[in-house]
Amino acid sequence: MWKKVVIFLLIWDSAYSAKLISRLDRESILDAEKKHRTGGNAYLTEREAQANDIVTRLRSKILLEGIANSTGFAPAMHFFQAKPLIESSPIFRMLKAMPKGSVLHLHNTAAVSSKWVIKNLTYRSEAKLCEVNGTVFFTVRQSKFCDSEPQKSITKLRAQNASAEAFDLWLESFINLKLRDPELMHTDVNTVWNDFQQMFDASKDLLMYKPFFEDYHRQMLREFYDDNVQYIELRASLSKVYDANGKDYNEFEIVKIISDIVDSFKKDHPDFFGVKIIYAKHRSIDNETVESFLEKFIALNQEFPDLVVGFDLVGQEDINNPLILFTDQLRKFEKTAPYFFHAGETNGYGSEADLNLVDAVLLNSRRIGHGYSLYKHPVLWKMVKQKGIALEICPLSNQVLRLVTDLRNHPAVFYVSESVPIVIAPDDPGFWDSAAVGFDFYYALMSLAPHSAGIGFLKQIVWDSVKYSTLTEPERTQYAELLQPKWESFLDFIIANKVLNY
């Protein structure tokens, strides 16, 4: 019986008389909707209100121009075409200056610009490659991906090539979807996912080489720091790292390596708050393997309680194992392994990937990765809101991986309208010619938010990235103290009217 009552309340649509409805007016409806949505009810200080006037005026101008002339209107376009337009836009300049707070959905081995990987790692003497059926795999050792194909020195190959630039672009095409997919070649989700997964394999052996692994993660911190990100919760599989002497580093050692890199970076950049790790394994495994990973998580968490803070299962949901397959194992560990499940990253409606959302919520997932299809579930989205489960929204990822074309159709628009908690994240920016999270914020502000959105919306998004992080209360206080002066500088930047100089 109690179940029926709860469900009834969850879908109850509001009891009121038709007569009352008919007396509502325009202003009261619009005002109620404004207050109801993300950031619509945010308290603005005097200076925030001042900055808000500037931002909303600017946005309004851009959005009205985009209605009159929709050609070249970046918020409606695919990132691969819109990137130069966005880069030169005053909104993007403003967002560059904004402290973004936390990035809560990022896969470590796809975090760094493909260009940096090519221009740095492949220029080092250890870097080799093999070609298997037209696909390149980078490595520095005898790689399992090479079968019997020869592994050639990349430096030598480059030297033999007439144009180093052309050669590098060819190399980059194996770890950059934009180069691989002139946008219109991939017409469906599975095809693009195929190339996407391939990129993890192409770079894996290169990145797992300890000196490269370290440099890569240092560069990751640099790119996100430069984009004004203060804190990262990183999905990492902690696959074995190796060095030139053939030594393998296990999960504990890898966490220590990352931890040392972060500490060193923090020493040089005291205004960077840090990194925590969500242990994330591919979902194409069996029950026993899941259980062994969960046990590994517990051990890692005991060794590094402040550092390894959560567990997730990753990989294309549509065609891989659904959460329900692992219910017994996941239930067993739910008190000790905080979950941060990918769920509902699909255009399906009632498919297994879509129903991962139900299981993620029932397994008390602390946040949900993507939650793209959640809006189709009237009971579930209200539960998510009520329980305060934040959705990790990755606009570019969903566009590039072919869930949606025009991001104004992204379901996050609905989540904004209903104040379902969201954070903005880049997922795998290195693989699609993005950098850190700035471009995702551009689309969040310009495509997902209503015409009237401004500082209130940004404030809520940024501070929710603090609220929905896994930080402890004392850490959170410290973090907020670091973020607040940056937020004030951001307001200064806007009020000094730098934003409008375009």
Catalytic positions, written as ranges: 345, 370
Contacts with a copy of itself: how many residues (CB under 8 A)?
83
- Residues between 177 and 196 that touch a copy of itself (CB under 8 A): 184, 187-191
Does residue 209 contact residue 78 with C-beta atoms inside 8 Å?
Answer: no
Q: Closest separation between CB of residue 200 and a copy of itself, Å?
A: 20
The Cα–Cα gap between 8 and 54 comes to: 44
> Rounded to an integer, what distance in angstroms lies between the CA atom of residue 365 and that of residue 380?
13
Applying CB under 8 A, which part among 45-53, 165-173, 260-268, 355-363 lies near a copy of itself? Answer: 355-363
At 314, list the tokens: 């990753």
Comparing CB distances to a copy of itself, the nearer of 61 and 451 is: 451
Of 226 and 406, which CB lies nearer to a copy of itself in the complex structure?
Answer: 406
197 binds a copy of itself (CB under 8 A): no
- Radius of gyration, CA atoms only, the chain: 23
Residue with Cβ nearer a copy of itself (174 or 375): 375
Cβ atoms of 140 and 209 within 8 Å: the answer is yes
- Of the candidate residues 169, 298, 404, 495, the single one contacting a copy of itself (CB under 8 A): 404
Paired strand residues for 132 = 135
| Residue 500 contacts a copy of itself per CB under 8 A | no
Contact (CB, 8 A) for 488 and 76: no
Among 282, 289, 347, 488, contact with a copy of itself (rule: CB under 8 A): 347
The owner of tokens 């990137």 is 83
**Do the beta carbons of residue 436 and residue 98 sit within 8 Å?**
no
Asked if 387 is part of the footprint of a copy of itself (rule: CB under 8 A), the reply reads yes
Quote the least distance from Cβ 91 to a copy of itself, whole Å. 16
Nearest to 500 by CA among 176, 89, 9: 89
Stretch that binds a copy of itself, among 68-76, 173-181, 199-207, 236-244 (CB under 8 A): 68-76
Q: Tell me if 53 contacts a copy of itself by CB under 8 A.
A: no
| Among 348, 395, 426, 456, interactor with a copy of itself by CB under 8 A | 348
Q: With contact defined as beta carbons under 8 Å apart, do 280 and 315 qualify? A: no
How buried is 450 (Cβ within 10 angstroms: 0-12 exposed, 13-18 middle, 19+ buried)?
Answer: middle
Site for a copy of itself in 417-476 (CB under 8 A): 417-418, 449-453
Least distance from C-beta 345 to a copy of itself, angstroms?
A: 13
Q: Which 231-270 residues touch a copy of itself, going by CB under 8 A? A: none
Using CB atoms within 10 A of its CB, is residue 203 exposed (0-12), middle (13-18) or buried (19+)?
buried
Q: Judged by CB, which is closer to a copy of itself: 155, or 452?
A: 452
